[in-house]
Structure 1
Amino acid sequence: MRLTVLGGCGVWPDAGQACSGYLVEHDGFRLLVDLGYATVLRLLERITADQVDAVFISHGHPDHCADLNPLLRARTLRDDPPPPLPVYALPGALDAVLALDRPGVLDAAYVLHEFNAGSHLDIGPFRAETRPLPHFVPNAGVRLAAGGRVLTYTGDTGPSPDVVELARGADVLLAEATYLDQVPPDSRRYQSSACQAGRQAADADVGHLILTHLRPGTDPAAARFAARAGYGGNVGVAVADLVLDLP
């Protein structure tokens, strides 16, 4: 299994970066997990739009799904469109982004598979276990298993024992860490810090922690330092073009 980070910025893309978007590959199958602002630019530097096999969206905030629109445009507004793209999302999560074009323009570009968080999905070679994780809007964390390797992605979430259970024994935990240590009071139930991500990675006994969704301007070294206060394993930060082959 290979993970390629297209972007890992939270809220808006920093200069030269992109918001949440991850290309996960196994046995030639290409799954996109989230497609936030500016991720399609990064994607098309690596593969063509028609080489994407499926998309999984964790939740409906635009820094996680806005670039689904240009991806679908790139697939269908052409002389030789590929087959419809399977897109997996929570009910209603994509209503806004799919309404950006006039009715019917993108209908042939995708097949929408809505699921409830807690469902198990088969997406190509990936066995996907989902769980509802607390955020301002419904959010589905996902555990992707293939070829004996496991990648867990939280989407955006507040601290929750369900994060630990979803990540238990995973090779990689890709964890939201919007803040370094202190989360503002109005967001404490719905977003996490690098310090909290480190503690949860330790509790879940994961092999590698990658912090993502850092707010633009956050020092990556400071985020790693905060996470290492509670986790003794390898800690990285999701930046565009990071590639990790799960061992």
Structure 2
Amino acid sequence: MPPLRVFAPAGALDAVLALDRPGMLDDAIDLHEFDPGERWEVDGLTVETRLLPHWTPNAGVRISGGEVAVAYSGDCGPTDALAELATGADLFVCDSSYVDDPPEDSVGLLGTARSAGIQAARAGVRTLLLTHLMPGTDPLDAQRAAERQFAGRVAVAQRGTELGSVEAACR
């Protein structure tokens, strides 16, 4: 089996890889490090990245091919760069750790379902998929908070969630 291609900001995997014996995963991972803001082509797809706010370096990604685009925030707070990355995306997978307001120490560093809805509306996406809800967060409360800000389709990533193909999710 060929190694798994992994794309990550420089140094982002250091802590994870340090959990195992040095070199143990060298043959299993084909690591491609990048600086957030870079853009490249891979397997006929265009990958764009943006530096997004979080405690550690975080890159949001937009992957597009043909007429379909998917944007993913990773863990981050609301920012103009996020709406820019997601502009016109068919599917926007967005950090929604909290429903309305994050704890004071997380403001600007973690997203909410409400802010995801605002970002999705600003970006003009078709479908918003809320992800990374904190344990105990009611998915329906999160969905409703996003729907108050965004008129498009909203779903919550949780066990059993199926959107079908990207094309179907974009309808």
- How many Å apart are 1:197 and its aligned residue? 0.7
- Offset, 1:242: 2.7
TM-score of the superposition, structure 1-length normalised? 0.65
User: Superposed, which structure 2 residues align to 1:136-175 within 5 Å?
Assistant: 136-175=55-94
User: Which residue, out of 94, 100, 112, partners 1:181?
Assistant: 100
Equivalent pairs counted in the alignment come to: 166
Match of residue 113 from structure 1: 32
What is the CA-CA distance between 1:113 and the residue it aligns to? 0.9
Residue 241 of structure 1 deviates from its aligned partner by 4.0
Q: Are positions 1:202 and 2:121 aligned together?
A: yes
CA drift at 1:205: 0.7
Provide the C-alpha distance between the structure 1 equivalents of 2:68 and 2:14, rounded to a whole number of angstroms. Answer: 33
| Rounded Cα–Cα distance in structure 2 between residues aligned with 1:91 and 1:225 | 37
Q: Find the aligned partners of 1:217 and 1:123 in 2 and give their Cα distance.
A: 38
TM-score where L is the length of structure 2: 0.92
CA distance in 1, matches of 2:137, 2:3: 38
Q: Among residues 158, 166, 170, which one is paired with 1:246 in the alignment? A: 166
What's the CA shift for 1:85?
A: 2.3
Residue of structure 1 equivalent to 2:12: 93
Bigger relative CO (Cα 8 Å, ≥ 6 apart): 1
For 1:200 and 1:134, locate their aligned partners in 2 and report how far apart those are by CA, in whole Å: 14
Residue of structure 2 equivalent to 1:232: 151
Query: What is the distance in 2 between the residues matched to 1:101 and 1:237?
Result: 33
What amino acid maps onto 2:62 in structure 1?
R
Q: Gaps (5+ residues) in structure 2?
A: none
- What is residue 103 of structure 1 aligned with on the other side? 22
CA offsets per residue over residues 71-110 of structure 1, 9 Å max, x none? xxxxxxxxxxx22222111111111211222123221112
- Provide the secondary structure at the position in 2 that maps to 1:129: strand
Letter in 2 for 1:165: E
Match of 2:138 among 211, 214, 219: 219
Deviation at 1:132, TM superposition (A): 0.3
Q: Which amino acid aligns with 2:30?
A: V
Any gaps of 5 or more consecutive residues in structure 1? 1-81
CA–CA distance in 2 between the matches of 1:136 and 1:162?
16
Kindly report structure 1 stretches of 4+ aligned residues shifted beyond 6 Å. Answer: none
Amino acid at match of 2:116: A
Distance across 2 between alignment mates of 1:240 and 1:148: 29
How is 1:33-112 mapped onto 2 (pairs within 5 angstroms)? 82-112=1-31
